[in-house]
Chains A and B, each alone.
Chain A
Amino acid sequence: MSTDVAVIGAGPAGMAAATLAAELGLRTVLIDEQDEPGGQIYRAVERASRGSPLGRDYLAGQALAAELRAARVEYRSGATVWHIDPAGAVSLAERDGAADTVEAARIVLATGAIERPMPLPGWTLPGVMTAGGAQILLKTAGLVPAGRTVLAGQGPLLYLVASQLARAGAPPELILNTAPHANYHAAARRLPRALWPGRRALWKGAAMIREILRAGIRVRREVTGLRALGRDRLARVAWDGGDIAADHLLLHDGVIPNVQITLALQLAHEWDEAQLCWRPVVDAWGRTSLPNIFVAGDGGGIQGAEAAALMGRLAALAIAAELGRFDEAECDRRAAPLRRALARERGVRPFLDALYRPAALAPAEDDVIVCRCEEIAAGQIRRAAQLGAQGPNQLKAFTRCGMGPCQGRLCAPTVCALIAEAHGKPLAAVPPFRPRAPYKPITVGTLAESNTLIAKS
């Protein structure tokens, strides 16, 4: 099938981009691998009720979902994108294995963020999962962990998930905050400029912490030496100076852009030293180094859900102008209020980036598993880096790291940090992984039957 715009990802950026594109008269297809809109931040939001323990900010996503449903968007849910041809063909696989291709004049990648991996001793034990994962279980199925739960790490989801679990009747026992002392200093320096633009976010953050303390959840700060202990599953959580029996350990070390597809397409990327991640180079409209491909939302750098929706709309406006719906002047005129709102959203960012800086990007212990898929430990990676591997792609050859089904999604940041450490180089100097198609697994049969009308690569 052929369309004007293909939007990949139904989170806030994707929903907003698709809705506006359709309203502006563009033929629009929205492709997402989940069955419901919302991405991860607004996952299952359409089904949420007013008293949801997930809170008002989460419920705000219902408006975006409702607008999407009302718009004339061809919404392909349950469809996984496994290849994008830079010329504009998107190959997708449905849940039953059927293959399809969408040819689009413009593509908007709105694939959002993933949690930063947090390798520590014992993190692969059953009973250890991400804080975001526990949040998804609560959002999608009203499930909470039974037994003793410990939350550990730092970043936007740490206190948020604790407060949501508490409201849902399953407060965690303990929060182990690993944010180092330096974060608080650096954040404090940025607080004055963040106070006005970020006033709502800061107020909510303070309220959340009050809620947690009122619920009797203990908080330890500047925690070091975190490890998960147990034989076939988690039994205890230990840290420098303490330990506790636990049934669940929820880890969180911040969020980073999901750059799997942008890297596979070999778009230009740059290292973001403030957020310690790679992100695609985009202009003020979300245009990438390829003229027909845009990025909107956290996939282009972490800026939050509200900013994501605004960037989705800016991309839709730019595309509408490019495809002749109005001229540049009109495009700028319509974009103006969005840009003002975006500037406000971005005002608190330096404060948050300083506060949410991970303590370390690579585990000190050699026996910590870094590549979960292939079970490769940090020591093996260090040795291969010392043997001369200059980057993660060369290192993949020596260690199989990155060859598993996740194609480096969970190990890339750690691997690059280990290489940087071994060579005494800055993180910006270690190139990222190069993922390839299929971006997610597809069967040989699906590929054999896939529609490949486009002849070029």
Chain B
Amino acid sequence: MFRLRRDADEATVEVEVDGRTVLVPANASAAAAVLVAGLDSIRETAVGGAPRGPYCLMGVCFDCLAEIDGVPNRQSCMVPVRAGMRIRRQRRGRAVQPNEH
């Protein structure tokens, strides 16, 4: 769990993380929103189903993959939040909607 530091002067927006509504700093990434929401992990690995959370926060490790606004496997640390964003756990491999495109 991450929290705002004391003396932080950050505007906030409301986003949804795994169904929970959370207030996060407006300049946070979706990965940061996950941490503010108090989630330990945001994905389960494709091979072993192990829980993983954001690790490097700079787009290198790909451990922060989440489903964001319906699009799976996005590097959540590279996506800035916007009001109303829906961030969901990435469970193993992505689903494919063959008849939607």
| Partner-B contacts on A (CB < 8 A) | 33-35, 40, 44, 47, 49, 51, 53, 114-115, 124, 126-130, 132-134, 136-138, 140-147, 168-170, 232-233, 247, 258, 372-375, 404-406, 409-410, 440
Contacts and interface: CB of A to CB of B under 8 A. Distances in A.
Interface of B: 1-10, 24-25, 27-29, 32, 35-36, 40-41, 45, 47-48, 50-63, 65, 77-78, 80
Q: Which of B1, B6, B62 has the largest number of chain A CB atoms within 10 A?
A: B62
A336 B65 CA distance: 47
Contacts of B55: 128-130, 133, 372
Interface of chain A, helix or strand or loop or mixed?
Answer: loop
A233 B63 contact: no
Contacts of A129: 53-57
Contacts of B5: 53, 138, 142-144, 168-170
In the A-B complex, the 3 residue pairs with the closest CB atoms:
A142-B8, A133-B57, A126-B53
B32 A137 contact: yes
20 contacts: A49-B9, A124-B50, A127-B40, A128-B55, A130-B56, A130-B57, A140-B29, A141-B27, A141-B29, A142-B5, A142-B8, A142-B9, A143-B35, A168-B6, A233-B40, A372-B63, A375-B45, A375-B50, A404-B62, A406-B62
A138 B29 CA distance: 12
A128 B35 CA distance: 12
A115 B80 CA distance: 22
Nearest to A260: B60
A372 B48 CA distance: 11
Q: Which of B5, B29, B41 has the largest number of chain A CB atoms within 10 A?
A: B5
Contact of B28 (A143, A232, A374, A440): A143
Nearest to B80: A35
B66 to A, nearest CB: 13
Contacts of A133: 54-58
B57 A372 contact: no
Nearest to B74: A441
Contacts of A440: 59
Q: Which of A49, A128, A129, A132 has the largest number of chain B CB atoms within 10 A?
A: A129
Contacts of B29: 140-141
Contacts of A134: 57
Given A127-B40, A440-B59, 10 more contacts: A33-B59, A114-B58, A136-B57, A141-B10, A143-B5, A143-B25, A146-B2, A372-B55, A373-B62, A375-B48
Given A129-B53, A129-B56, A143-B25, A247 B1 contact: yes
Given A133-B57, A372-B63, A145 B2 contact: yes
A169 B6 contact: yes
Contacts of A374: 47
Q: Which of A124, A134, A138, A141 has the largest number of chain B CB atoms within 10 A?
A: A141
B23 to A, nearest CB: 12
Contact of A232 (B6, B51, B62): B51
Nearest to B65: A405
B56 A132 contact: yes
